[in-house]
Amino acid sequence: MKVSLRWLRDYVDITLPIKELAERLTMAGIEVKEMQITGGTWENIVIGEIVAVEAHPNADRLKLVTVHLGQKQLTVVSGAPNLRTGDKVPFAYVGAQLIDGHTGEIIQLKPAKIRGALSEGVVCSEKELGISDSHEGIMVLSPEAPAGTPLADYLGDVIFNLDVTPNRPDCLSVIGVAREIAALTEQTVRLPQVSYEESTEVIDSLASVKIVEPVLCPRYCASMIIGVSVAPSPRWLQQRLLACGMRPINNIVDVTNYVMLEYGQPLHAFDYHRIAGRQIIVRLAKGGEVITTLDGMERAMTSDMLVIADAEHPVAIAGIMGGLDTEISEETTAVLIESANFNRSAIRQTSANLGLRTEASLRFEKGLSSELPLPALKRATRLILEIAGGKAAKGILDVYPGRQERQPLLFSTVQISRLLGVEVGTDEAIRTLTFLSFECQKTGSSEQISVTAPYWRTDISNCADLVEEVARIIGYDKIPATMLSTPIPVPELKPEFTLREKLRSIMVSCGFQEVLTYSLTSLDMLRRVSPDSQLTTPLKVANPITKEQEYLRTTLRAKLLATLNQNQRYETGGIRLFEIGKVFLPQEKDLPEEREKLCAVLSGPRSELSWRDQEGLIDFFNTKGVMENLLSWLGEEIKFDVSEDRGLHPGKRADIIVDGIKVGVMGELHPKVSEAFELSGTTYLIELDLKELLPLATRLKKYSPLPRFPGVIRDIAIVVAESASYQQVKNIIQSFPPVAKVNLFDLYRGEQVPRGKKSLALRIVYQAPTHTLTDEEIIKVQEQILDTLYRELGATLRS
């Protein structure tokens, strides 16, 4: 909402410097987002009165213009076609800053001799002053403009661009803002004149109003003026509209817009002679009805839309936009002015359904007072009579089925201190509220007052609202800052946060960069992750912003792989990425299950290119090491089982089983998936389900005492068939109790061992809790181990 300071001054005295005023308004809830100052550059420009226009001695098309400037007179040369003795015009002295009428550049005015005649200034066009684009002639000011006065004092203005919150439609008006200023600076508001002379013709004999939908239209007022002359509005009116960002159209429409800006009440003017049956009917549209609105668009009405109709068809979409048929035109001689109140929800719905938002709908949908139509209508009628002439019909059509008495609120200053934490006396509260036009009455109790909000404050409904009124006017800066003194609630344990933090810190320490990716993605992206499997239908956004953000992710893999691909373009070293986030699994008739997952991808060299060790590429066992790091702290055995995951390489994938529960999966990315994401090199992937992990992570850990006797280390190498897995070998060895630890430190295939076999070099730590094991004991166990390995796997000791 743009508000002109000059316009505001009509209703309230501005007693504060402009910047401070803007600050006070902002602090009180009406944010001044921006201040535009017009005339700020009008130094050395004053109002002049043309006292003589003479021919230039050396040029036919130029004139010598003598201008009276209060204290003195100067003669300048001008070629303007509209020079008239007696006119008040802007006059720029040498040194003034102007906009060149032809080039549009900013120039500094210098003394000039034009065709032999000295010119010590210029009379200015609107364009030269930066007021408009008009450069056809000089700007003519109103006859009352005082000669000699700086133009900035007379015409300069400050435009406040206000951010009005949706609860304050009353401040979408100049008077509303003036009321705020008045309350903040303890002034009173001067309201405009609304009375006018009526003719003898009674309005009821000219038109009628019928409200079919009283819930949707609580009130409809109309006045009529006969014999108007439609013409462009006077300059002052046009300028005010322009300053507020509205385009002048003609004097009738401009007045309705002007009063809307002034009072915040949208109005509409109909060409009376085009209203069929002289009837205004406020009703729902009938199926199939079509209306061409003022913007020239043909709009199909649906039966839930409120329209203003005449005896035959809709003439306006109620509260949103008028129809072209009854538009004010140059032929219009009689007008019917509508000033009504409509249900905010209805207006909002219709406006949204039509995709049509107007200054009117923006105000109505915020909930205007049903008391507002009448004063606004009277004001508009008076202005039209002043500007467009004609005679007003006697009386006003006022159908008011939704009249409601304003209920006073019982308000106690105890509520102020209870909510604000600062004491405000009853008298101060009354004083503050009174400046805001609230009616305050003392009651029997010294703390309690009865408060009635002014009609335009539709946002006030309870005592908390009143507390805010008091707070914002006395200033939020008057409220002290205290720390909470109430008891701290007993915190509830949140093991899922602890788990997440733990996993995050392990991933980071394993060299993984955390990423956060969008929850929304495309079906295509989700499909790419698992090419051959059926996708459970993900949740779909009904109104997606783009096709790329249409579905809620059911896996973290897609975006993570896409992120890997993006970064492969720049990164030369290995890339390790992870994300901990939610996937959204649809559920019947309920919100989706939001399941937290960890997903990590890794690819490329194990380490950055370096003059030190030239290590190879990240492989399955690097990935497995990360997985082991992630889970080892659980203190449970981790099993890597055969997996069916279709996104992974069938020969290089594993389900992760802890205590019989599948908690995740890992492996090499399926080459098809890799191709679908245009990844270079081989990619490995880890996925954990935090929900499955949680019960394992929350088990209470038990301390095991430190061994009192040293372990004994023995290295052995065995030769075993390729078909035997390391896990099988390890399980056998570990089944013998004195074995505390088994470590594979070499795996060999080649000339030294028979075909189809492999050699495993193992370091075994033997340890007993009761004593240091003797050589004999260890030899005995080792023999048993080798026997079992031979029996079950055909393994032999490598000689």
Structure token pair of residue 536 = 């459970």
Q: How far is the CB of 462 from another protein (least distance, A)?
A: 6
Q: Which residues contact 681 (CB under 8 A, 6 or more apart)?
A: 603, 604, 617
Structure token pair of residue 704 = 């095991």
Contact 744, 726 (CB under 8 A): yes
Q: How far is the CB of 417 from another protein (least distance, A)?
A: 8
- Helix axes 413-420 and 463-474, enclosed angle (nearest 10): 70
- Cβ closest to another protein, residue 272 vs residue 584: 584
Structure token pair of residue 429 = 């509260």
- Cβ closest to another protein, residue 491 vs residue 651: 491
Q: What are phi and psi of 463, to 5 degrees?
A: -70, -30
Which of the 8 DSSP states describes residue 701? P
Let me know how long the chain is: 799
Contact 184, 25 (CB under 8 A): yes
Handedness of CA 253, 255, 261, 263 (dihedral sign): negative
Q: How far is the CB of 239 from another protein (least distance, A)?
A: 26
Q: How far is the CB of 562 from another protein (least distance, A)?
A: 9
Q: How far is the CB of 416 from another protein (least distance, A)?
A: 10
Q: How far is the CB of 504 from another protein (least distance, A)?
A: 7
- Cβ closest to another protein, residue 591 vs residue 706: 591
Contact 766, 756 (CB under 8 A): no
Residues paired with residue 159 on neighbouring β-strands, in sequence order: 4, 36
Q: Which helix (H) or strand (E) holds 210?
A: strand 208-211
Q: How far is the CB of 29 from another protein (least distance, A)?
A: 3
Contact 450, 441 (CB under 8 A): yes
Which of the 8 DSSP states describes residue 321? E
- The structure tokens 């600076």 sit at 185
- Cβ closest to another protein, residue 209 vs residue 583: 583
Distance CA 387, CA 383 (A): 6
Which of the 8 DSSP states describes residue 512? P
Q: How far is the CB of 348 from another protein (least distance, A)?
A: 4
- Cβ closest to another protein, residue 541 vs residue 661: 541
Q: How far is the CB of 570 from another protein (least distance, A)?
A: 6
- Cβ closest to another protein, residue 262 vs residue 596: 596
- Cβ closest to another protein, residue 33 vs residue 708: 33
Q: How far is the CB of 582 from another protein (least distance, A)?
A: 7
Q: In Å, how far from its chain's centre is CA 195?
A: 44
**Terminal CA-CA length for the chain:** 93
- Cβ closest to another protein, residue 488 vs residue 700: 488
- Cβ closest to another protein, residue 611 vs residue 703: 611
The CA-based dihedral angle spanning residues 780, 786, 787, 793, taken in that order and rounded to the nearest 10 degrees = 160
Q: In Å, how far from its chain's centre is CA 416?
A: 32
Phi-psi region of 380 (alpha: psi -120 to 50; beta: other; left: phi over 0): alpha
Q: How far is the CB of 458 from another protein (least distance, A)?
A: 12
CA distances from 193 to 11, 256, 340, 381, 480 (A): 11, 16, 20, 11, 44
Half-sphere exposure of 613 (CA within 13 A, CB side): 6
- Cβ closest to another protein, residue 698 vs residue 735: 698
- Cβ closest to another protein, residue 84 vs residue 418: 418
Q: How far is the CB of 491 from another protein (least distance, A)?
A: 5
- Cβ closest to another protein, residue 332 vs residue 563: 563
Distance CA 531, CA 509 (A): 33
Q: How far is the CB of 37 from another protein (least distance, A)?
A: 13
Structure token pair of residue 687 = 């996925």
Distance CA 562, CA 527 (A): 13
Distance CA 780, CA 544 (A): 71
Distance CA 196, CA 260 (A): 19
Residues paired with residue 91 on neighbouring β-strands, in sequence order: 46, 123
Q: How far is the CB of 180 from another protein (least distance, A)?
A: 11
- Cβ closest to another protein, residue 118 vs residue 516: 516
- Cβ closest to another protein, residue 237 vs residue 360: 360
